[in-house]
Structure 1
């Protein structure tokens, strides 16, 4: 069975609270496209809830629902991407962050919301089994890793505490050595959050590069990352501050290198997307771990019980109609057979003729 790990950062906190989606438009950048597929440049906007199904189709699987977006071309049916990498970068609404990374395609996102890769993940699990492929989900609330059993200890050395992160940030492989920090430094909480997230992504990439057998097993891999440190810096120092500009520059340069490194790791057969999302700034500050396991927020005291029904699966109407009309058909069939048997004339049946007790007359 695949190993699922949820690691919490108990000593590092970020500025977070009540993340309300802004009305501004998010943008999806496709930074690397394998030769086996293609994206139409003028396909128009794509809804955020369709991104996971688009990834499923790109990897060669059937989407969970009919796609309204027609920007993806099928391409080579006998060769599909070996991995998909999605990086979501959060920024304060209205900050107008200009990306400094190279992209091949750019699409506007409608119906902005959290992008979940569950549909693509389930497609891979159904085709190859639960213990196949790599699933890595790194967000500001949790870190989830699904690996085959023999690789389940691959990421055990990733830092899980503030001390571990500080060690990585001051080591030979520190992300601080790759970029000019400018006005940012590790004395600020928001700065540390940003550098820590980038350091984790770099460490994860280094671990994968040292385990080629994991990425060359013929099973598509899924990677999902969320960088919230840019929004933390913008909230802490202001959108127009030098710190915010330096943070935007560092994130753009890092994503450019990260995208190229992932593509090279999978021999240019990895699909890489970067999602720039605008969200409201933090309304207040709370102490919270950078990778804390997400838990549902309790209802506030005195909140009315609205008796709202739970969310139904999108396939529920299909199953309902199957069971409904199958039941109707069987009921009508049973009633028809019972009616025919009830009004059957015994004299017309071969059964009663062959079992007659009358003596045969010569």
Structure 2
């Protein structure tokens, strides 16, 4: 009974995670040693197994997914490149139509792909030398983190004249274009010969986050979102060409899109030193209180950027300490995942209620004389009397 309840609870938790989530796993380029076949959907938690098998590494979790066929296990690709795009279910036709695409089941909040593949590469190649790169394109210091692989250069601004619907004056547009400019900088470094094959397997992950906020602002089928997807699709094709040339086709390039529930605010570096520097970035529009379930403190418009953390969640400590705002949730229990938390408690309560009813029904239908050995051993009717 206990094991059954645990199984039900696990399924409910996974259902909450993926209830409103969708995604795609797209093959941008595969070397001749690998063949991707027609197959059903796959799980996000299995991507590390797919990448490991592609690189010739041992896998830890068996799967019935039949989409990958390793034709030549002695000539596996030298590198795997993953572009992870947060907040959208698909790039559609903007990523190209002549490539394999698999529906993706999102079964975890935060992907564990990079950590899993990195651990397996480090375990097999104890001497190091592998290029294992995880680049968050929204990070202002992304270009300076991996100086051993890419020379640190400033991120160029995307040219305004090439845009039609997107504007640098809009915050969400600007963050998206900054990420796109950072990605193009990496593409330029690869094209210029920054990567030299050395017969040691490498793994790259580029994480793109701000397309989600832009899509939320304008709508998923708006002209601005379509232009953003087109620009990103063009950049992915350039990235593919650059890595294919750098590794002489011995590289697997993929794109992963997921529409897991995120916060509305764009992931960005605020550029503030702390409470003593309340000046918001220049060029921003009139601020709007982003947390409708919390009462807005008096005078918050003076420094709105101090009310949220880097991940977009409310900074309750700052609100209570500096403005004395009253939280409608009492002590700030609610987070941006309150919908998932509500579903977890709801279904857990229903499950426990029915379990309790089942136990009560079983007790009511019990025959003490037949079902209880204690009753039999202590009942005077079942004992012989001494004459």
Residues of 2 paired with 1:31 and 1:234: CA distance? Answer: 23
Whether 2:101 is the aligned partner of 1:106: answer yes
| 1:205 corresponding residue in structure 2 | 187
CA RMSD after TM alignment: 3.6
* Residues 205 and 252 (structure 1), Cα distance of their counterparts in 2 relative to 1, 3 Å cut: closer
Within 5 Å, which residues of 2 pair with 1:203-282?
203-211=185-193, 214-280=195-261, 282=263
Residues of 2 paired with 1:145 and 1:69: CA distance? Answer: 36
SS at structure 2 position matched to 1:117: helix
Q: Give, in angstroms, the shift of residue 85 of structure 1.
A: 0.9
Residues of 2 paired with 1:282 and 1:243: CA distance? Answer: 20
| 2:178 corresponding residue in structure 1 | 196
Contact residue 135 and residue 145 of structure 1 kept, 8 A: no
Q: Give, in angstroms, the shift of residue 92 of structure 1.
A: 4.9
Residues of 2 paired with 1:77 and 1:91: CA distance? Answer: 35
Please report the TM-score for the alignment, with normalisation by the length of structure 2: 0.59
SS at structure 1 position matched to 2:134: strand
C-alpha deviations, 1:16-55, integer Å up to 9, x for none? xxxx7662421111010100111121x2111110101110
Residues of 1 paired with 2:35 and 2:115: CA distance? Answer: 23
Specify which structure has the higher proportion of helix: 2
Please report the TM-score for the alignment, with normalisation by the length of structure 1: 0.62
Pick the aligned partner of 2:152 from 142, 154, 157.
157
SS at structure 1 position matched to 2:216: helix
* Residues 290 and 130 (structure 1), Cα distance of their counterparts in 2 relative to 1, 3 Å cut: farther
Pick the aligned partner of 1:124 from 113, 116, 121.
121
Residues of 2 paired with 1:181 and 1:221: CA distance? Answer: 35
Q: Give, in angstroms, the shift of residue 144 of structure 1.
A: 7.4
C-alpha deviations, 1:188-225, integer Å up to 9, x for none? 2211211211221222233234445x531111111111
Contact residue 39 and residue 72 of structure 1 kept, 8 A: yes
| 1:56 corresponding residue in structure 2 | 52
Whether 2:269 is the aligned partner of 1:289: answer yes
* Residues 273 and 294 (structure 1), Cα distance of their counterparts in 2 relative to 1, 3 Å cut: farther
SS at structure 1 position matched to 2:87: strand
Residues of 2 paired with 1:245 and 1:270: CA distance? Answer: 29
Q: Which has the larger radius of gyration?
A: 1
Contact residue 43 and residue 106 of structure 2 kept, 8 A: yes
Whether 2:34 is the aligned partner of 1:37: answer yes
* Residues 128 and 73 (structure 1), Cα distance of their counterparts in 2 relative to 1, 3 Å cut: same
* Residues 210 and 279 (structure 1), Cα distance of their counterparts in 2 relative to 1, 3 Å cut: same
* Residues 68 and 199 (structure 1), Cα distance of their counterparts in 2 relative to 1, 3 Å cut: same
Aligned residues: 264
Q: Give, in angstroms, the shift of residue 240 of structure 1.
A: 3.6
Contact residue 40 and residue 73 of structure 1 kept, 8 A: yes
* Residues 98 and 23 (structure 1), Cα distance of their counterparts in 2 relative to 1, 3 Å cut: same
Q: Give, in angstroms, the shift of residue 236 of structure 1.
A: 2.4
Q: Which stretches in structure 1 are left out of the alignment for 5+ residues? A: 1-19, 160-164, 170-174, 304-362
Q: Which stretches in structure 2 are left out of the alignment for 5+ residues? A: 1-16, 273-308, 317-330, 334-387
Contact residue 92 and residue 280 of structure 1 kept, 8 A: no
Contact residue 136 and residue 223 of structure 1 kept, 8 A: yes
Contact residue 26 and residue 108 of structure 1 kept, 8 A: yes
Residues of 2 paired with 1:29 and 1:23: CA distance? Answer: 20
